[in-house]
Amino acid sequence: MPATSRPTSRDVAQAAGVSQSTVSLVMGGKWTGRVSPATARSVRRAAAELGYRPNLAARNLRLGTTRTVLLMVPTLTAPFFGPVYTGAARVAVRHGFGVVVYPWPDDARPADSPFAVPHEAIDGILASSMAVAALDRFHGTPAVMLDSDPEGAAPTVDFDVAGGMRAVAAHLAGLGHRRIGHVAAAVDQWTFRARGDALAAAVAALPGGVLTRATAAIEVGSAKAAAGRLLDRPAAPTALVCDDDLIAAGAYKAALARGLTVPSDLSVTGFDDVLLATALEPELSTVRLPAEELGVQGMTALIELLGGGRPAARSLPARLVVRGSTAPPPAA
């Protein structure tokens, strides 16, 4: 064999004195009960000495799989989704899978695939913060939904966003706030509907509680305008609850434009606990969502699904992190 050529399974078979099919069984991890342990050791030793590596592309083609998972996210600009990918990729690599990230803007239509024949190009889908109906064009490709409606048909891994929002409401109520404004994300997704419903129920149960709401894109300028509409009301809220940390940054700017100081004049809370939360001054009280663990649990569930299992729904905790942006309301 020339020194520059890549060793093949035939070379390993000759070196170990076995057939090529035996090499395939051993290198594919399917030799137990079909090949003796001594023969398996001999094959592995020959492969190591020759520097042989299986041709995974050819193997996957024969098996009808690609070992590729598509991670679909609403945007690539939001800092939340980076850790989701990190967690998913960490699990995927241990199982011999690759992860391709694809943005799917939320415009209420089925998702377009980056592949001409998606059901042949990918083995499974992780879809974050979207409706399961968006996957209609993927021809039944196995999918796990992340931070999405747990009542849907696909397996889900979610955050307890309702519990997180209830914790925000309880924290503000404990400080004495009764007039609460909700700067809500203008995105029709389960996660934001669940947050809004939980906040509305918590404030309604609060004696003297009043909730006002304005919607905004998850963008600082839009959030500043929406927060401003709430703050310009005759009986303005003393606390603004924001659906996202980026929305909270807009609320800070709206307060500053009106000569209000956070938190002595106005309390502000966020959601997600991305790096921005500690870059704001004062640092933002917000709900921490374990984004990387979402990717870990999502990929774990998808691996189970691809193996023929039926993964149970998973719900990850959402924890309130209290920092400097919340305080008792100003005196009347």
Torsional sign, CA 218, 220, 221, 227: positive
CB 239 within 8 A of CB 268: yes
Helix residue spans in 134-285 (DSSP H) = 161-175, 190-204, 220-231, 245-257, 276-279
For the stretch 90-136, pLDDT in tens is 999 888 888 999 887 655 455 555 554 445 578 889 998 877 777 77
Residue 75 to residue 79: CA distance in whole angstroms: 9
pLDDT in tens, the chain (332 residues): 444 567 888 888 889 899 888 887 777 666 777 788 888 889 888 888 888 766 554 444 343 467 889 999 888 888 899 999 999 999 998 888 889 998 876 554 555 555 544 455 788 899 988 777 777 777 678 899 999 888 777 889 999 999 999 999 999 999 999 999 999 999 888 999 999 999 999 999 999 999 999 999 999 999 999 999 999 999 999 999 999 999 999 999 999 999 999 999 999 999 999 999 999 999 999 999 999 999 999 999 999 998 888 898 899 999 999 999 999 999 85
Peptide bond into 263 cis (omega under 30): yes
pLDDT of 116 reads 47
Domains of the chain with CATH codes: 9-54 (1.10.260.40), 63-158+292-315 (3.40.50.2300), 161-289 (3.40.50.2300)
CB 92 within 8 A of CB 69: yes
Residue 111 to residue 50: CA distance in whole angstroms: 46
Tracing tokens 């309880």 back to the chain, one arrives at 170
pLDDT of 240 reads 98
- CA separation (Å) from 274 to 81, 98, 219, 246, 254? 10, 26, 14, 9, 21
Residue 175 to residue 178: CA distance in whole angstroms: 9
70 CB neighbour count, 10 Å cutoff: 25
Bridge partners of 210, per DSSP, are 179
**Residue whose C-alpha is closest to residue 96's, from 50, 142, 65:** 65
Locate 256 and state its tokens: 């500053």
- Pairing verdict, β 286-288 and 319-321: antiparallel
CB 220 within 8 A of CB 276: no
Locate 152 and state its tokens: 């849907």
pLDDT of 52 reads 79
> How much is the CA Rg of the chain, to the nearest whole Å?
26
Amino acid at 315: S
Task: Count Cβ neighbours within 10 Å for each residue of 250-285 and write b for 16 or more, e otherwise.
Answer: bbbbbbeeeebebbebbbbbbbbbbebbeebebebb
